Amino acid sequence: MRLSGKGFRRLAVVLAGVLALAPLSPVRAAAPDVLPLNVTNDSGRAGQVHLYVVGVNTSTGRLGYVDASGTFTPWPAGSIPPSPAPDVSIGGPANGATTTLRIPRGLSGRVYFSFGEKIGFFLTPTGLVQPAPWNPGDANHDVLFDWSEFTYNDDGLWLNSSQVDMFSVPHSVAVTNAAGTTTRTGVLVPDGRERIFNAIQGQAGDWSNLITTRPDGLRLRVLSPAKGIGAGVFDPGYLDGYIGSAWDTYRSQTLTVVPFQHEPGKRFTGRTDANGVMRFTDGTGTVVASFQKPATKDVFGCDGRLHAPNDGVVGPIARTLCAALHRSTLGYLHTQPTYDPGRFYTREITNHYSRIVHANMADGRAYGFPFDDVGGFESLVHDGDPASAAIGLTPW
């Protein structure tokens, strides 16, 4: 399950709401009203850590923030142009220490963490302006920060370390259930941050343009190619040739999509017609989904012509197509998705950002693009009976 609606896509836009990402069900006694989330700072970096918990109350739809006691408060109304939001930062841990946040049940959102400087949030009359550091004019462009995404509701906790928009601060996520079992992901290999930056820097083409370096020389972040296109620093036609070749393959070859691993009998077959539209039929031969050939930005964003509605057919097919194009398996492997990561990112034209991030994760799991959960390769922890959660600011 992917959190926060494709990484809360936005480029200095106002969010009027945040998607609730897990199905709601009757209240279960096992889920505490307020879940402790321990943030441990083993980064080795100097400077005050500032923490923020922001999101949406999934019962009311109100956007707001959570204070150190775990109390949710809706944001006050802002203005046009956006006005500064109240300072809702929570003092974070010094190096080697832990700060415990408290997450109320019924909240979906983000935990932000910054080093040294605080993050600037802004408000309009209808919503919150999230930080958008890919925009050179954003107030947070030179701030070292990152975030994890979560949903905590009656069905448990979902918590991920997201690289959908960018990679910046190495951090792990974990959940411990009532039985005492802990699940953790997001840990980098030794020197992983440096390895990621160096590999992106050395990748031929526009990839090095995705790196943001602060005036003091600190490499702050690597943007995803989707954000790089939006910022005007990455080729908006990078994937076009590969997409066209993959689309043409299915003029004479049948593509089989089996979107649910637990339902191997639920299959859809696709062919590209004379007009360049890939049409999928179900077992009865009925056309159930159609996709015009997407552009590079549609693929990197998993939207536009690859928009995935929250249904049981079109959305799952779109997700599968998008993941296969990111991993450069579409056009070569004719049953999708594939569950063998050794076959991902093997072509010259591929999502090298996602490839490099995955290669430097200790368990190979990351959210390198919006639907990296296709096949189960995302950096997500989930438990239906959580007792506590954790975010680890890991060494770099």
Annotated active-site residue in 149, 373, 378, 383: 149
Radius of gyration of the chain (CA): 21
Q: Are 303 and 296 within 8 A, CB to CB? A: no
| Close Cβ partners of 51 (under 8 Å, ≥ 6 residues apart) | 39, 89, 90, 91, 92, 99, 101, 111, 112, 113
Give the sheet arrangement for strand 211-213, strand by strand: 166-167, 219-223, 211-213
Catalytic residue among 165, 298, 372, 373: 165
- Identify whether 149 is a catalytic site residue: yes
Q: What type of residue sits at position 386?
A: P
165 a catalytic residue = yes
Closest CA relative to residue 66, chosen from 24, 36, 42 = 36
Contacts of 136 (CB under 8 A, 6+ apart): 231
Distance CA 31, CA 384 (A): 8
What are the CA-CA distances from residue 28 to residues 24, 32, 36, 243 (Å)? 11, 9, 17, 46
Instruction: Write the single-letter amino acid at 174.
Output: A
Helices 352-359 & 192-202 angle (0-180, nearest 10): 150
E strand spans, 154-202: 156-161, 166-167, 171-177, 182-185
Q: In whole angstroms, what separates CA 142 from the centre of its chain? A: 21
- Quickly count: other Cβ atoms within 10 Å of residue 70's Cβ: 19
The residues, ordered by sequence, that sit 6+ positions from 361 with a Cβ below 8 Å of its Cβ are 185, 186, 187, 188, 189, 192, 379
Catalytically active residues are 149, 165
